[in-house]
A and B are shown apart, each in its own frame.
Chain A
Amino acid sequence: GQNIDQPTEMTATEGAIVQINCTYQTSGFNGLFWYQQHAGEAPTFLSYNVLDGLEEKGRFSSFLSRSKGYSYLLLKELQMKDSASYLCAVRTRGSNYQLIWGAGTKLIIKP
């Protein structure tokens, strides 16, 4: 089968750094996405990785290791507004609709 695993919930302190891990087992791989979803709102795109390595975008960075089926999202200088769920999704084939989604990691930021 195909599955994506993420921790259900994480807690971190305002101003700190947090790493959210995602491991995947899929029948194919053609890119990995991270989305942020605030409660009651739509998912919004954060980052995309298709090659191994680190992609940095401001306070957020995403890492991919295809050989290990592993990615992480790194959030620096945490702010209260970063409290949200973070969804990992793998595109398995050559068409964009074939995304396998993780259940998301709920991140709680404390002052």
Chain B
Amino acid sequence: GAGVSQTPSNKVTEKGKYVELRCDPISGHTALYWYRQSLGQGPEFLIYFQGTGAADDSGLPNDRFFAVRPEGSVSTLKIQRTERGDSAVYLCASSLTGGASGQETQYFGPGTRLLVL
């Protein structure tokens, strides 16, 4: 079956511009996660959706970052007034329920490599 997909795979933008990153989770997965990963580091949690609602957005670094999931499936991460420090790989993951039952696993997409010049 289809895994998690993300578009675009690469995005180059100029400082101050607005960008949108899209994530299409595995069909039927209610939980969706956004992470940011810098070179040589583990994923850094940004936001978690359970269905359509953001259950926890405490990882968003500041108010320039926003994410939506209006129909409980596809999600968009939006970054306003981009800064050079926003350059990273943005990973999206989904899991079946978001609960902690057994080894419920997060399945990751290939990521979007964002470069802010």
Q: Which A residues are within 8 Å of any B CB, using their own CB?
A: 4, 8, 30-31, 33, 41-45, 48, 50, 87, 89, 91, 93-97, 99, 101-104
In the complex, are the beta carbons of A97 and B91 less than 8 A apart? no
In the complex, are the beta carbons of A104 and B40 less than 8 A apart? yes
In the complex, are the beta carbons of B45 and A99 less than 8 A apart? yes
From A45, which residue of chain B is reached at the shortest CB distance? B105
Q: Which B residues are within 8 Å of any A CB, using their own CB?
A: 4, 31, 33, 40-45, 48, 55-56, 91, 95, 97-100, 102-111
11 additional A-B residue pairs with CB within 8 Å, beyond A96-B31, A97-B98: A41-B110, A42-B111, A43-B43, A43-B91, A50-B102, A87-B42, A97-B31, A97-B33, A97-B48, A97-B56, A104-B42
State in angstroms the CA–CA spacing of A70 and B97 once bound together.
Answer: 28
Which of A4, A8, A93, A95 is the most central at the interface, judged by chain B CB atoms within 10 Å of its CB?
A95
A39 to chain B, nearest CB (A): 10
B42 to chain A, nearest CB (A): 3
A36 to chain B, nearest CB (A): 11
Q: List 17 A-B contacts (CB under 8 A).
A: A31-B100, A42-B4, A42-B91, A42-B108, A45-B105, A48-B102, A48-B105, A50-B102, A93-B100, A95-B55, A96-B31, A96-B99, A96-B104, A97-B31, A97-B45, A101-B44, A104-B40
Residues of B within 8 A of A97 (CB): 31, 33, 45, 48, 55-56, 98
Which of A31, A43, A91, A94 is the most central at the interface, judged by chain B CB atoms within 10 Å of its CB?
A43
In the complex, are the beta carbons of A94 and B42 less than 8 A apart? no
State in angstroms the CA–CA spacing of A30 and B104 once bound together.
Answer: 12
B2 to chain A, nearest CB (A): 14
In the complex, are the beta carbons of B99 and A103 less than 8 A apart? no
Query: If the complex has contacts A42-B91, A42-B109, A48-B105, are A95 and B41 also in contact, measured as CB distance less than 8 A?
Result: no
Query: If the complex has contacts A31-B103, A101-B43, A102-B42, are A96 and B98 also in contact, measured as CB distance less than 8 A?
Result: yes
